[in-house]
Structure 1
Amino acid sequence: MKAEPDAQARLLDLQELDTGLQRVEHRARTLPETAEAAALKERVDQIDSELVTAQTKVSDIEREQRKAERDVDQVRSRADRDTKRLESGQITNSKELQNLQSEITSLARRQAELEEVVLEVMERAEELNAQVVRLTAEREETVAKYTEVTARRDTAAAGIAMDRDTIVRDRERVAAEVPADLLALYDKLRAQYDGVAAAPLRYGRCGGCKLALSTVELNDIRATPADEVVRCEDCRRILVRTAESGLGGQAEQ
C-alpha cells in the first residue's frame, strides 16, 4: 500500500486520539464513585429490609405487651374484688373464708408472674425501638452520602463525556485527512492489536511492540520508498517513519 508520508504521519495523530479515547472510556467505566454509589445503594436497600423486619417485630411486641398488661389488670381486678369481699365481713363460713384467702394468695402470685412478663416484654420492646431508631438514623446518613456520591459521579461523568466529545470531533477531522484505504487498514489493525494500529519508528525501535529492529530490517526500510506503507515484522502494526527513526534522513524524503 502506498500513501504520502504526511498522510502516514497523520496516523500517529489519529492513534494518539484513539488512545486518548480509550483512556477516557476506561475512566468512564472505572469511576470510583460508581462503585461507591452502588455499595451505598445496596446498604440503603439492606437497611430498608432490616427496618421492615424491626418495625414488624415492634408491632408484634406492642400487641404482646398490651395482652400481658390486660392479663395483669384482669388478675388485679379479681384480687381487688376478692379482697373487698374478705374485708366486708359478709362471709362467716370458715371454709369459704379459707378458700377466698387461698385464692387471693394465688392471684397475688399470678399477678407477680404476669408483671414479670410485662417487664420482660417492655425490655424487648425498648431494644427493638432502639434498633429502629438506630437503623433510621443510619439510613438517613447513608442516603445523604449516596446523594453526595452520585452527584460527584454525575459531575465526573459529565466531564468525561465532554472530553470524549472533543476527542471524537478531533478524530473525525484527522480521519478525514487520511486516505480511505489507509484508514481502512488502520481501523482493521486497531481491532486486531488492542487498539494500537500505528506506531512511530524512533531510533531503530518500534513504538508499538517496543522491540529494536535488526540491522537488516532497518536497511530494508531505508531502501523502501517514503510513500510505501511499512509494517513492523514483529507486531505487524503500521510503522510510521519519523525524523528520529534512525534511518539517516530517509524519513525526510
Structure 2
Amino acid sequence: MKADVAAQTRLLELAGVDAEIGRLDHQRRTLPEHAELAEAEKSVQSAKDAVVKAETQAGDLDRDIRRIERDVEGVRARTEKDQALLAGSGIGARQASELQHELDTLARRQGVLEDEQLDIMEQREAVGMDLQHAQRTLDEAEGAVAAVTERRDTAVADLDAARAGRDRAREGLLPMVPEDLLADYQRRREGGKVGAGLLREARCGACRLELDRTFLSQVRGKPADEVVHCEECGAILVRTKESGL
C-alpha cells in the first residue's frame, strides 16, 4: 500500500488521540469512587437492616407492653369488684373466705404482671436506644453515599468532557487520512491493539520492542510512501526524520 508521508504522519496524531481516549475510558471504568460507592451502599444496606431489626424488636415489645397493661387492668378491675363484694353485707363466711383467697391470688398475679411489665419496659428502653443508634448510623451511611456519589459524578463529568474533546479531535483528523490507510489502521486497532507507531531508535512506538536489524534494513530500502508494518505487533510503522534510517 502506498500513502503520502504526511498522511502516515497524521496516523501518529490519530494514534495519540486514540491512546488518550483509551486512557480516559480506563480511568472512567476504574475510578476509585466506584469501589467507594459500592462499599458505602453496602454500609447503607447493613444500617437499614439494623434499623428494621430494632424496629421489629421495638414493635414486638410494644405489643407485649400493651398486652400486659390490659392484663393488669383486668386484674385490678376484678380486685375492685371482689373488694366491693367483700365489704358488702349479706355474704357468708365461706363466700368471704373464697373472695379473700381470690384477692390474694389476684394480688400475686398483679405482682407478677407488674414485674414482667417493668422488665419489658427496660428492654424496650434499651431497644429504643439501639434504634436511635441504628438510625444515626443509617443517616451517616446515606450521607457518605451522597458525598461519594457527588465526587463520582464530578469525576465522571470531567472525564466525559475530556473524552468529548478527544472525540472532536479524532473527528477532525479522520478526513486527513486516506480511506485505505485509515481502514488498515482501524483493522490493526481491533482487539485493543495499537494501530500505528513511530519508528525511532530501532524500536516500534506501538509495541516498544526493538526490531531486528535485517527487518530494519528491509524497511530502509522501501520508498518513503510505502506503508510498512511492525514485524512484531503488526502496527503501521511510521517513518520520519526521527527514525534514524
Report the TM-score when normalising by structure 2.
0.89
Rounded Cα–Cα distance in structure 1 between residues aligned with 2:39 and 2:211? 50
Map 1:67-106; keep pairs closer than 5 Å.
67-83=67-83, 85-86=85-86, 88=87, 90=89, 93-106=92-105
Cα RMSD (Å): 2.3
What runs of 5+ residues in structure 1 fail to find an aligned partner?
248-253
Rounded Cα–Cα distance in structure 1 between residues aligned with 2:197 and 2:185? 11
Which residue of 231, 241, 244 corresponds with 2:242?
A: 244
State the shift of 1:30 in Å: 1.8
Question: Percent same amino acid at aligned positions?
Answer: 42
Residue type of the alignment partner of 2:220:
R
Q: Is the 8 A contact 1:18 1:195 kept in 2?
A: no
Partner residue in 1 for 2:170: 171
Q: Deviations over 1:152-210 (max 9, x none)?
A: 11211111111011111111112221111101100111014x24111111111122222
Partner residue in 1 for 2:204: 206
Count matched residues: 245
Partner residue in 2 for 1:250: none
Map 1:112-191; keep pairs closer than 5 Å.
112-191=111-190
SS for the counterpart of 1:244 is helix
Partner residue in 2 for 1:51: 51
Map 1:10-29; keep pairs closer than 5 Å.
10-29=10-29
Which residue of 216, 219, 223 corresponds with 1:218?
A: 216
State the shift of 1:94 in Å: 4.0
Rounded Cα–Cα distance in structure 1 between residues aligned with 2:207 and 2:142? 48
Q: Which moved more, 1:93-102 or 1:199-208?
A: 93-102
Report the TM-score when normalising by structure 1.
0.86
Q: Deviations over 1:117-170 (max 9, x none)?
A: 212321332233223212221222222222222221121111111101111111
Q: Is the 8 A contact 1:190 1:197 kept in 2?
A: yes
Residue type of the alignment partner of 1:242:
T
Rounded Cα–Cα distance in structure 1 between residues aligned with 2:49 and 2:6? 64
Partner residue in 2 for 1:234: 232
Residue type of the alignment partner of 2:24:
V
State the shift of 1:81 in Å: 4.1
Q: Is the 8 A contact 1:85 1:91 kept in 2?
A: no
Q: Deviations over 1:36-66 (max 9, x none)?
A: 2343334434544543453344333222211
What runs of 5+ residues in structure 2 fail to find an aligned partner?
none
